[in-house]
Amino acid sequence: MTKQAQNNLIVGQESSVDFKVTAAMVAQFAALTGDQSSLHTSAAYGRRSMYRTNVVHGMLPLAFLTVLKDIKIESHQAQIKSLFVRFIKPIFPNDLLQLISKVIKCEDKQAHLEFNVIGQNTKAQLTTGKCVIDFSESISGDDKKVSAGAASVVLEHLTEENQSYEDIKQTDVKQFPFQCDENHLLGLYNIIREGLNDKACPALKDWIKAVDARNILLSSLSSTMVGMCLPGKRATFMDLNLQFHDDIVFGQTYRFRSVVEFKSDSTQTLVEKVTIEGGDSSEAVASGQITVKVNDAPVQMPKITELKKANENIHLKDKVVLVTGASRGIGEVTAKLFSIYGAKVAVNYYRGQQDAQRVVEEIKANGGQAIAVGADVTDRAQVQQMVGRIVREYGTIDVLVNNAVSNFYTISFMDLTWSDFQKDLDVIVKGAFNCCQEVLPVMCRQKEGSIINLSTTAVDNPPVKQAKYVTAKSALEGLTRSLAVEFGSQNIKVNLITPSMVETDLTQHIPKIVKSGLIKDMPDKRFMKPEEVAQNIINLAA
């Protein structure tokens, strides 16, 4: 390295930048890269994913490599020439993040870095990687007007693929054309500026002078390939390894191309060879490899017509039933099954209004009675309003099913924050507490009622990395026993259902190898079906 360069960069030198990823940044990134994958942009799809919400594009935080203040050589412009990234844990909108880099090797006008993206609050490692940066004589950075956004780099509208692992064949090829210009770099700068406070954000002219961001932008197109093309909607991006052999030219058309080189049936992962081709060169501008997991499709709950065939009437006609968390999964099937037996059903939802309305419409189309009632069960005022509406509509509440849960996402105990822990306690325990306190006076007046709480066999046999879920369900069991003793003399039954693993969205994303281990310990060697749990709820309510 030159003497001047050695004065700027040394092995072991660290740099960091703090930033926040907002929903607006996700939308800008999706527009810029063409990655409109449902996991990132569709609230309905995110709610049915293993994360129960939308996830930030994995490549988005890497744009902040371009604003590392200490990784620079005076009067030189930095450009990434190779990039390896491993995505360890998901990042969610509004997360506070820190990107930390360390120089691990210095050569003449070149630096090798390792970097980590961590949560500012949890210190959990979310993304890790390495990159090689070249430094060349800096160009002058003219003042430019920062637009509200830039058109997509991708030149054609991409329709999100929805391929299963079985649909994809080795040697399958996907590609899309793209073209880059200065406006796209301005779009990338807008995203970075959104995530930084005003003090931390460099002026546009200084950013352009210090960094050639073309290759970071091109690297982001790997997200587009994975999320929109190969495999598309069901993708989980695992890692990227990309080397740049030449610079792209503004205004010229290139192709981002990916070929499936390897499939792993045991993990349902793909290894794809990627190349960036086109322009005036016959050689690839960049080449590398992507690893991606192909997830299973969301579990579809059975239709009422299917449930009718499997069940007989057990005299619940005209009973009024409130099922919390009934817009999907076990709650959805339970609501449908109650309606088959002639009950009037209140379908509670929190964020899934469309799904709840779909359940209600299906019940009505099959001759049943139902209403959708929105309420966050952790909010006492909302629960009070919900119960009041049901009583006004149907006159009473005969059965309460406390089914609402937060998520079943695995997280090690040392990575938990109390807010993570509190969220499960709030939804599972506080939610049941609020609903019981509002419904019990109604049941006491009529001297009859039934409350059914849903626990899990995981309380007695905890899975790994489920401390928050198991603790909350354990508390719910204690609440159930206490209420059963206190209100049994008033002809109010309080019971607990403790199913094993059930085929719903909550368990859909458990790796197959883990599922196989769990199934080995089950008497009938399979996960339960939601309708089996629902039938047991019906039996307790009758």
Report the pLDDT averaged over residues 268-277: 95
The pLDDT of residue 1 is above 50: no
The residue among 69 and 537 whose pLDDT is bigger is: 537
Domain boundary assignment for the chain: 3-137+152-294, 304-541
Report the pLDDT averaged over residues 410-430: 88
DSSP letters spanning 435-468: HHHHHHHHHHHHT-EEEEEE--GGGTSPPTT-HH
pLDDT value at position 50? Answer: 80
pLDDT value at position 126? Answer: 95
Q: pLDDT (tens digit, 9 = 90+) per residue, 15-73?
A: 999 999 999 999 999 999 999 999 999 998 888 888 888 999 999 999 999 999 878 88
Helix, strand, coil shares of the chain as percentages rounded to 5?
35, 25, 35
- Report CA-CA distances (Å) from 125 to 89, 113, 117, 164, 254: 7, 17, 6, 30, 34
Q: pLDDT (tens digit, 9 = 90+) per residue, 187-229?
A: 999 999 999 977 778 889 889 888 999 999 999 999 999 999 9
Q: pLDDT (tens digit, 9 = 90+) per residue, 123-181?
A: 999 999 999 999 987 655 455 554 545 589 999 999 999 999 999 999 999 999 999 99
- Residue 412: partners with Cβ closer than 8 Å, 6 or more residues away: 465
Helical pair 329-340 and 530-541, crossing angle rounded to 10 deg: 50
Active-site residues: which are they? 469
Q: pLDDT (tens digit, 9 = 90+) per residue, 484-502?
A: 999 999 999 999 998 876 6
The pLDDT of residue 281 is above 80: no
Q: pLDDT (tens digit, 9 = 90+) per residue, 449-478?
A: 999 999 887 788 887 888 988 999 999 999
Give me the sign of the Cα torsion angle 451, 449, 334, 394: negative
Confidence class for position 305, pLDDT limits 50, 70, 90:
confident
Which of 267-271, 409-413, 416-420 is least confident?
Answer: 409-413
pLDDT value at position 5? Answer: 41
pLDDT value at position 146? Answer: 47
Which of 23-32, 78-87, 503-512 is least confident?
Answer: 503-512
Phi/psi of residue 20, nearest 5 degrees: -125, 140
Fold annotation for 3-137+152-294 = Thiol Ester Dehydrase; Chain A (3.10.129)
Share of the chain above pLDDT 70, in %: 89
Q: What is the largest CA-CA distance in the chain?
A: 88
Tell me what the pLDDT averaged over the chain comes to. Answer: 88
Fold annotation for 304-541 = Rossmann fold (3.40.50)
22 token code pair: 């907002």
pTM (predicted TM-score): 0.75
